[in-house]
Amino acid sequence: MKQFIAGDHLVTNIDPLGITEHHGLYTGDGMVIHQAKSGIIEEVPLEIFSGGNEVRLKRRVPAPRTAIEEARRHLGEMHYQLFSDNCEHFVNKAADDRSTSNQVANAEHLALQAVARTSMIGTTAYRVVTSTVGTVTLVSTISKMAGEYVGLPDNLNTIIGTPGDLVAKPLETVINGVGRTLSDTANSLADGEYGPAIGNLAEGAIMVPLETALSCLETGVNGVRAVGGLIEDTWNWFCN
């Protein structure tokens, strides 16, 4: 078994082509907390988590003990939404208090690029995505996906994917934020609570743009940190 340490963010590929990633948080002694296919949060042996497939280290989380405690706090819970509450969201939420998924963000970015390049959403969008900047972000996202597929170091993948993530991550935030706002508003209306429904819309109008701006800022900061981390890793490799 590979030498993982408690708090490691692990990933394994679970489909025959090795495209779909499954994420978990290593807790030590050969155990992993993950969100199973059923949606339940459970702590299982590494072999069950991986289903016999290769497991690789995605990253070492900044506060491993806190992340493990947070993950264990949700053991036994059952919830799953493909685009807003999947296994990657779960690990990132426990580790960084940020519910985000590279797989979802990348897919949404590629879908936006595909639709915009058909001119279905207007000529302005077409000009943007076919411009140099639009092409760079597309190549960045595709290259990052390829890097994750072959298991490149996380810092290197983050650097490669930063231009694409400057589109993908805010897009993911907008889609999730709008979806959350509409869902909360619809639930309030269904219960006949018109005041809270208006409040939900007002909150969404404020929070979604704010969260989107913060997501863009965070993506840039993460890119800079990844550069520093890659330099440090390279230095340590040469020194050792």
Secondary structure percentages of the chain, helix, strand, coil, to 5: 60, 15, 25
Q: Environment class of residue 205 by beta-carbon count within 10 Å: exposed (0-12), middle (13-18) or buried (19+)?
A: exposed
Tens digit of pLDDT for each residue in 214-234?
999 999 999 999 999 989 888
The verdict on 116 and 38 lying in the same domain is: no
Number of separate domains in the chain = 2
The verdict on 28 and 60 lying in the same domain is: yes
The verdict on 235 and 121 lying in the same domain is: yes
pLDDT score recorded for residue 152: 86
- Examine residue 98 and state whether it is found in any structural domain, yes or no: no
pLDDT score recorded for residue 1: 52
Ranges of residues in the chain with a pLDDT under 70 are 1-2, 16-18, 240
The verdict on 149 and 231 lying in the same domain is: yes
The verdict on 69 and 118 lying in the same domain is: no
Sign of CA dihedral 107, 131, 125, 115: negative
The verdict on 197 and 231 lying in the same domain is: yes
136 is in which domain, residue-wise? Answer: 103-239
Contact between residue 30 and residue 1 where contact means Cβ atoms under 8 Å apart: yes
DSSP-derived letter for residue 13 is E
The CA-CA-CA angle for residues 4, 107, 223, to 5°, reads 55
Q: How many CB atoms lie within 10 A of CB 98?
A: 13
CA–CA separation, 223 and 240 (whole Å): 26
CATH number, domain containing residue 74: 3.90.1720.10
Q: Give the global pTM.
A: 0.84
Tens digit of pLDDT for each residue in 182-207?
999 999 999 999 999 999 999 999 99
pLDDT score recorded for residue 98: 87
How far is C-alpha 200 from the chain's CA centre? Answer: 25
The verdict on 143 and 185 lying in the same domain is: yes
Q: Which of 80, 112, 140 is a domain's end point?
A: 80
- Name residues whose C-beta falls within 8 Å of residue 99's C-beta, 6 or more positions apart in sequence: 84, 85, 89, 92, 93, 176
The verdict on 68 and 127 lying in the same domain is: no
